[in-house]
Structure 1
Amino acid sequence: MLTLRTLCERRDLELTVLVPGPEGALDCEVSWTHNTELPDPSPYLRRGELVMTNGLWHIAGHSAESFVHRVQDAGASGIVFGLRREMPATPADVIDACRKAGMPLLELSVDVPFTALSQAAARTLAEQRQSALMASVRRGNALADAISSGTGAGGVLRVLRRDHDLRLAVVDRMGHLLGSAGAGLTDDDLVVVARAVARRPPPLEVTLSNDSAALFPVGVFGEADAALVCLRPAAALDEAERGALEQAAHFLSMETARLHAVQATEMRFAGELIDMIFAGAGASREFAARLKTFGIEAADPLAVCALALAEGEAAVSPVPANAVMAFFVSEGVPAVVAPGGRDTVALFPWRLTEGELEASMTRLLSLLDRQLPKQKVVLGYGGPAGDSTKLKVPLMEAREACQLLARGSSAARMARFAELPSHSALLGRLDGQVVQRFADALLTPLRDHDAQRGAQLELTLRTFLANEGQFAATADALYIHVNTLRKRLTRIGELTGRDPMKFEGRVDLFLALEADALVRS
């Protein structure tokens, strides 16, 4: 088990205990390390994580007591304050805040980077995880050699192929091919396997394009993250082959867990970058340094897109970040991909033309359509911005365009903010309560009248506007006489104070209907 005491006992890390915390705190489990300079990192912390900070938030004037309180509420195991040449000692108010809160506080030498601490934690955790898994399988097996040598899923499959004449592949739940040995899976095959992995529990066999294939779930704690696919029916496997495949699936679970842990860390790191853009930190050295870890230079032209799944009229959720990242990997473009509550944001360098940017976003949307065939994916995009300091507006516009598309404000599924109808864009930027009050002021009298008298004033108004104010076409659509239509429109004007037979009245009533649809989505 990784603990604060374990890390402190490593002399090469040069850690000093400033606040030990309550009795036994130094011996509590540390789940992972998390580097942050946000004044409130709690949304990105998981219970048991060790928070590492250089105190840039402190230099900016944020409260030490507030920072420690947020970290403690998130369930962190402790705080490591990394000294710098500019800050050779841990601030007294940080020490006092940790002492009052009972939060363990360690001080890291100027000469030791946070990466050394993270690597030490990673090595300890990896050794413990490997030891626990290896205890359940035969020692010295060639599969362990394949994993420990870093050859990944492909190495495991090659070991199996040396002993058994099997065609094999490893496919994750997003339909990505993690490794293959003798198995030529088509795109349709990958989709079939991904859907099977998503089922609870996954089936033991699926029908692919050429033959039936046996599936061996790969995952930890009973949750399938991927599947080891053998292109042979389950009934055709002998006991030795089945045993070897089951054994390999156990080892592959360690590899997929490692991959997902790395991806999860990158996603949280990416989320902090997006928050820093909104906070106006796009010009800071810290932002540029973090951006560079993703292979992106802050001085480069940058583009941004936001993607969401529109499920029905109200539910809007982010697109799986792994699927978005897979696209940029296939395009050879470095990217920061951050999933949020309602959308997934991707930030990436772009030196080509705006037309080529649109073509690239079209390819991304097409890929997601293939991977998520039963979902409606929408995409808003912005840029290229000249550099990271100009990202805030394109980011805001990309996310706003995405949400407007998800709400059905346009028939399009991909657009820039400026390409959307002006009334949708303007309504989308107003406070939701203001929009609601405007819509209710005009539409509630109509709806009350219709409910009390069994009338159809709202339907009449919608039909009249849909027919661009043409009396004959509207009357025909409603199967009523033109004089009846005029009486209804007059009544609408009396109830709302807006005459639908005049242009300005029609504009207000149209906006009320659009606003009502927006706030109800």
Structure 2
Amino acid sequence: MRLRALLDTDALGLRLLGGEDELDRTVRGVMTTDLKDPSRYLSGGELVLTGLAWRHGAADSEPFVRILAAAGVAALAAGEAELGDVPEDLVLACVRHRLPLFAVHESVAFATITEHVVRQVSGERAGDLAAVVDRHRRMMTSGPAGGGPDVVLDLLGTDLDLRAWVLSPTGRPIAGSKLAGAALPADVSAKLAAEHLAAARTGRRGPHRALVGTTTYSLFPIRSSGRSAAASRDVRETVLSDWLLAVEADAGDWPAERLDLLQGVTQLIAVERDRRDAARTVRRRLAQEVLELVQTGAAPAEIAARLRVAAPVLLPGLGAAPHWQVVVARVEWEEVGGGPAGPSVEGGGGRRAGGIEGGPVTQSLLEEILVDPLTSGPEHSDRIAVAHTGEEAIALVPLPAVSAEHDGSESGILADTLLEAVRDPLSAGLNDDGRLTLGVSAAVHSAEGLRGALEEARHARRVAAARPGRVCAAGHQELASHVLLLPFVPDDVRRAFTARLLDPLRDYDRRHRAELIPTLEAFLDCDGSWTRCATRLHLHVNTLRYRVGRIEQLTGRDLSRLEDKLDFFLALRMS
């Protein structure tokens, strides 16, 4: 704003005492001081408000004004409440240094002037910044990226003093302003992502307010230009893939101009999001081609040739062919509209896609989940190739070849690690009607093993789907035979099987306190060893033999037979 505008505002009660020729100066801020030397707090362009408490005599005015002029302040406004009138020596000093001087009527509080100037200056800055953002958006739309989200976030920091970050749906930091300094702590990022996803599921318009500890954040959704055009589509189709802009401020009392500016910023960042999505097209196509070859039973040599094409794209500069790992994901939603859900492909009933094309949705989400935040390079996603088929998303993940010094420990992606990173925020986005299940294969060393890795990952995902929770994952380590079989046995069959074998023992224990069930568990755990089992239970071997005989009598089974031992083992696991 200009100094001239201050005189045109009657509510400020300002009277010009000198500097008529300098009224076109620009005001960049406001500062109140009664220090003799406030230079350390001045950066230039301020309107300085003073109550004249620093002045003890006429000789004090000249050095005070000289300091202000040297600092490049826009003008000085002196209050009349202390001395009644602004001293003549101060007026003359301001004339000598060409510093505009205003008198502030005693009925006007400095806070009133400060609030007016800050509001006007902020609005002016927002307007200027909006023009810059608009130019930047046009540049990014018409050509190569002009610096990405960091550029516009830096503008927010330098021009509006706003600390801001761009976060993924899982809370992964994508960009941040220099003013923001260090990245948000991981727990804060995850909390903000969860708050955003939960608010988005309600259908409320952003920005959404989130309080983490004692800090208030405003969360603005960043919607891809392609997806946002389809406003009538189910919100569940985009909620798990949209980015968000987290601003360390409460936008509840912001003027419309500033809110419009931040909406423009989100649109600009959305352009960058679309650019990154487009860059993933090649990797997606490579993954789709490999997947089709694997599923149609192509010769290993043909698959290996396609992998050789994919490796340089996913791991540029890698000398040797990598190992490969497969991750399978599926997002399922309950039926929309209040009716019962259709039958689940998992065999348990109660879930289906609900009209959403689940494959592409899960593909975008899996690409985000598999990002390694420690990966170097311009893009964190440059080692991820995800295809989709039906309702599944299938990731082909290259791993660098294991060195000769490798200690044999587990390498590559671990299901537990994935789950820990994304469970909390994504559970908020899935709300009460969605589930995400993940399966992770072991690493394979050649094209011949890729088909087995795909089936292994799919089996692991089905094991995860049999568990409770909104977000579940399982790895190849969990695919023991009974783990593979039990989740897919219908519930009524499980109940009948366990009741037939174990109910007689439970009834006997209840009536006689005989502890047959604990004895059976210990006997199987000790591989049928009488001595080890008796030692574990602190029993005489004869007492143990009596109990095992009673178990066999009540159930009609023989614990010396492998088949009967296996039946008891499965019944205990299902109970």
Q: TM-score, normalised by structure 2?
A: 0.48
In 1: Cα distance, 2:572 partner to 2:547 partner: 26
Residue number among 279, 283, 297 corresponding to 2:301 in the alignment: 283
Whether the 8 Å CA contact 1:307–1:343 is kept in 2: the answer is yes
Shift of 1:231: 1.7
Pairing 1:302–2:299 present? no
Specify whether residues 420 and 168 from structure 1 end up closer, same or farther in structure 2 by C-alpha distance, changes over 3 A only. closer
In 2: Cα distance, 1:451 partner to 1:269 partner: 56
Specify whether residues 516 and 164 from structure 1 end up closer, same or farther in structure 2 by C-alpha distance, changes over 3 A only. closer
Pairing 1:192–2:242 present? no
Shift of 1:180: 1.4
Specify whether residues 400 and 487 from structure 1 end up closer, same or farther in structure 2 by C-alpha distance, changes over 3 A only. same
- Counterpart in the other structure of 2:15: none
Shift of 1:328: 7.6
Shift of 1:326: 0.9
Pairing 1:372–2:423 present? yes
- Counterpart in the other structure of 2:134: 141
- Counterpart in the other structure of 2:450: 391
Residue number among 180, 200, 209 corresponding to 1:205 in the alignment: 209
Pairing 1:326–2:371 present? yes
- Counterpart in the other structure of 2:413: 361
Pairing 1:492–2:555 present? yes
Q: Please give the per-residue CA displacement for 1:447-489, whole angstroms capped at 9, x wherever unaligned.
A: 8989999999xx987544312165898899xxx9997874453
- Counterpart in the other structure of 1:12: none
- Counterpart in the other structure of 2:58: none
Shift of 1:348: 0.7
- Counterpart in the other structure of 1:183: 180
Residue number among 247, 264, 287 corresponding to 1:247 in the alignment: 264
Pairing 1:466–2:521 present? yes
Specify whether residues 260 and 349 from structure 1 end up closer, same or farther in structure 2 by C-alpha distance, changes over 3 A only. same
Shift of 1:404: 4.9
Specify whether residues 395 and 207 from structure 1 end up closer, same or farther in structure 2 by C-alpha distance, changes over 3 A only. same
In 2: Cα distance, 1:437 partner to 1:231 partner: 53
- Counterpart in the other structure of 1:350: 400
Q: How many pairs align?
A: 360
- Counterpart in the other structure of 1:336: 385
Specify whether residues 290 and 489 from structure 1 end up closer, same or farther in structure 2 by C-alpha distance, changes over 3 A only. same
In 2: Cα distance, 1:499 partner to 1:143 partner: 79
Whether the 8 Å CA contact 2:386–2:393 is kept in 1: the answer is no
In 2: Cα distance, 1:310 partner to 1:145 partner: 36
Pairing 1:217–2:235 present? no
Specify whether residues 216 and 293 from structure 1 end up closer, same or farther in structure 2 by C-alpha distance, changes over 3 A only. same
In 1: Cα distance, 2:456 partner to 2:424 partner: 27
Shift of 1:218: 1.8
Shift of 1:330: 1.9
Shift of 1:274: 2.8
Q: Please give the per-residue CA displacement for 1:53-93, whole angstroms capped at 9, x wherever unaligned.
A: xxxxxxxxxxxxxxxxxxxxxxxxxxxxxxxxxxxxxxxxx
Which structure 2 residue ranges, 5 or more long, are not aligned? 1-129, 333-346, 352-357, 428-435, 468-472, 525-532
Give the number of the structure whose alpha-carbon radius of gyration is greater. Answer: 2
- 1:491 aligned partner, one-letter code: L
Q: Please give the per-residue CA displacement for 1:378-419, whole angstroms capped at 9, x wherever unaligned.
A: 76442341x3344333444454456557757xxxx87655x8
In 2: Cα distance, 1:345 partner to 1:403 partner: 16
- Counterpart in the other structure of 1:35: none
Specify whether residues 162 and 253 from structure 1 end up closer, same or farther in structure 2 by C-alpha distance, changes over 3 A only. same
Which structure 1 residue ranges, 5 or more long, are not aligned? 1-136
Whether the 8 Å CA contact 2:133–2:265 is kept in 1: the answer is no
Give 1:28-427 correspondences, 5 Å limit: 141-148=134-141, 149=143, 150-151=145-146, 152-161=148-157, 163-181=159-177, 182-184=179-181, 185-199=184-198, 200=201, 201=204, 204-208=208-212, 211-219=215-223, 220=228, 221=230, 225-235=242-252, 237-260=254-277, 263=280, 266-267=283-284, 270-281=287-298, 282-284=300-302, 285-286=305-306, 288-289=308-309, 293-295=313-315, 300-306=321-327, 320-327=365-372, 330=375, 334-338=383-387, 341=391, 345-353=395-403, 355=407, 358-361=410-413, 365-366=416-417, 368-373=419-424, 380-385=440-445, 387-400=446-459, 403-404=462-463, 416=476, 421=480, 423-424=481-482
In 2: Cα distance, 1:365 partner to 1:377 partner: 12
Whether the 8 Å CA contact 1:475–1:482 is kept in 2: the answer is no
In 1: Cα distance, 2:368 partner to 2:279 partner: 15
3-state SS in 2 of match to 1:382: coil
Specify whether residues 272 and 462 from structure 1 end up closer, same or farther in structure 2 by C-alpha distance, changes over 3 A only. farther
Pairing 1:507–2:525 present? no
Specify whether residues 443 and 487 from structure 1 end up closer, same or farther in structure 2 by C-alpha distance, changes over 3 A only. same
Specify whether residues 210 and 454 from structure 1 end up closer, same or farther in structure 2 by C-alpha distance, changes over 3 A only. closer
Specify whether residues 405 and 466 from structure 1 end up closer, same or farther in structure 2 by C-alpha distance, changes over 3 A only. farther
3-state SS in 1 of match to 2:180: coil
3-state SS in 2 of match to 1:241: helix
- 2:552 aligned partner, one-letter code: L
Aligned residues: CA RMSD: 5.4
Whether the 8 Å CA contact 2:322–2:400 is kept in 1: the answer is yes
- Counterpart in the other structure of 1:23: none
In 1: Cα distance, 2:454 partner to 2:319 partner: 15
Whether the 8 Å CA contact 2:209–2:216 is kept in 1: the answer is yes
Specify whether residues 250 and 203 from structure 1 end up closer, same or farther in structure 2 by C-alpha distance, changes over 3 A only. closer
Q: Please give the per-residue CA displacement for 1:275-323, whole angstroms capped at 9, x wherever unaligned.
A: 4224333422456445654447897141314366999x97999894134
Q: TM-score, normalised by structure 1?
A: 0.52
Specify whether residues 329 and 192 from structure 1 end up closer, same or farther in structure 2 by C-alpha distance, changes over 3 A only. same
In 2: Cα distance, 1:335 partner to 1:357 partner: 23
Specify whether residues 247 and 514 from structure 1 end up closer, same or farther in structure 2 by C-alpha distance, changes over 3 A only. same
Whether the 8 Å CA contact 1:436–1:516 is kept in 2: the answer is no
3-state SS in 2 of match to 1:170: strand
Specify whether residues 453 and 310 from structure 1 end up closer, same or farther in structure 2 by C-alpha distance, changes over 3 A only. farther
Shift of 1:170: 1.7
In 2: Cα distance, 1:305 partner to 1:348 partner: 9
Specify whether residues 404 and 510 from structure 1 end up closer, same or farther in structure 2 by C-alpha distance, changes over 3 A only. farther
Shift of 1:194: 1.0
3-state SS in 1 of match to 2:565: helix
Specify whether residues 460 and 331 from structure 1 end up closer, same or farther in structure 2 by C-alpha distance, changes over 3 A only. farther
- Counterpart in the other structure of 2:430: none
Whether the 8 Å CA contact 2:153–2:165 is kept in 1: the answer is yes
Shift of 1:233: 1.8
- 1:234 aligned partner, one-letter code: A
